[in-house]
Structure 1
Amino acid sequence: MHVSDQKAWPTEIRLKNDKKTLFVSFDSCETHEYSAEYLRVCSPSAEVQGHNPSQKKTIPGKIDVGIMKIEPVGNYAVRIHFDDLHNTGIYTWNYFLELAHDKDKHWGVYVKELEEKGLTRER
C-alpha cells in the first residue's frame, strides 16, 4: 500500500520543550520524530515546493529554526508556524507519514542540493 493511500489518523502531536522536535503518533501504533529543520525544508507549501518540480526551492540556513505554534486545519492536517515566520505549509497526516517513511530520500536530496548550490544548513 502506498503511503498516500493510507488513512492515517494522529493520536498525539507533541512539541518538545526546545521547540525543535515534533512527535506525531498515529492510530497504526507508529510514532515518528521530526526535527523542525526537516519539516521546514520539506514544507509542502508552494513557496518551497513550487507549482511544478522545476520551481522547487532549496531552503538553506534552517539548522536552528524552531516551531512557534501548530494549528489544526480541518480534521486532516496542521499548519506549522516556524520562528522564521514561514507558515504557509499544510501538513496532512499522510504527508507526515511520507516524511517519516522516506526520510533518507528526502534528506539526501536536500543535502545534495545544498552542496550542488554551494549552500549550507547553517545561517
Structure 2
Amino acid sequence: MSEIWPTEIRVSKDRQRLTVAFNDGAAYELSAEMLRVLSPSAEVKGHGPGQEVTVPGKRNVAILSVQPTGNYAIRIGFDDGHDTGIFTWNYLRELGERGGELFGEYEAKLAEKGMSRDVSERPR
C-alpha cells in the first residue's frame, strides 16, 4: 500500500477542478482538462511504449463523477464519456507535483501535430 493517501478529494462547483489533499499536508488543484488528457487509461497511454495518444479538444471538459477504486485509486468520469482511467494516489501526487511540466509536454505534442486544446470544427 502507498505511504501517501488522500485526506480530501473534492470537485469544484463548476466541475473544472479536482482538489486533492494528502496525509503529509500537500494539496493540489488539478484541472479537469489535465486529468482528461493525461489519463492513465489505455485509450490515452496505449498498451505499450510508443502507443500514446495525444487527445485534442478537451479545454472545456468537466468532471462528472469520482468513484473510489479499492484503497489505492479513483476512477474519474468526464462529460465527454471517458471514464476508464484509474488514478492511483501516486499518480495524482505526480500530477500535483509535475502537472505543469507534463501539461507543457502535452501542449508541445499538440502543436507538433497541428492540433488544438479547443474542440475541432470538423468531426474526427
Q: TM-score range by the shorter chain?
A: over 0.9
SS of the aligned residue for 1:86 comes to: coil
> Percent identical across equivalent pairs?
51
79, 86, 92: which one aligns with 1:90: 86
TM-score by length of 2: 0.92
Query: Would you identify which runs of 4 or more consecutive aligned residues in structure 1 move more than 4 Å?
Result: none
Matched, 1:77 2:98: no
CA offset at residue 109 of structure 1? 1.0
44, 49, 52: which one aligns with 1:48: 44
SS of the aligned residue for 1:120 comes to: coil
How far apart are the structure 1 equivalents of 2:43 and 2:99? 21
Runs (5+) with no aligned partner, structure 2:
120-124
Identify the residue that residue 3 of structure 1 maps to in structure 2: none
**Per-residue CA distance 1:65-118 (angstroms, 9 max, x = gap):** 000010000010000000000000000000001111112321111000000000
- Cα RMSD after superposing both structures: 1.2
Kept in 2: contact 1:11–1:27 (CA 8 A):
yes
Matched, 1:20 2:16: yes
How far apart are the structure 1 equivalents of 2:113 and 2:36? 18
Identify the residue that residue 54 of structure 2 maps to in structure 1: 58
CA offset at residue 53 of structure 1? 2.6
How far apart are the structure 2 equivalents of 1:106 and 1:53? 17
Give the alignment of 1:23-38 within 5 angstroms: 23-38=19-34
SS of the aligned residue for 1:102 comes to: helix
Runs (5+) with no aligned partner, structure 1:
1-5
What letter matches 1:20 in structure 2? Q
Number of aligned residue pairs: 119
Higher helix residue share? 1
Give the alignment of 1:101-112 within 5 angstroms: 101-112=97-108
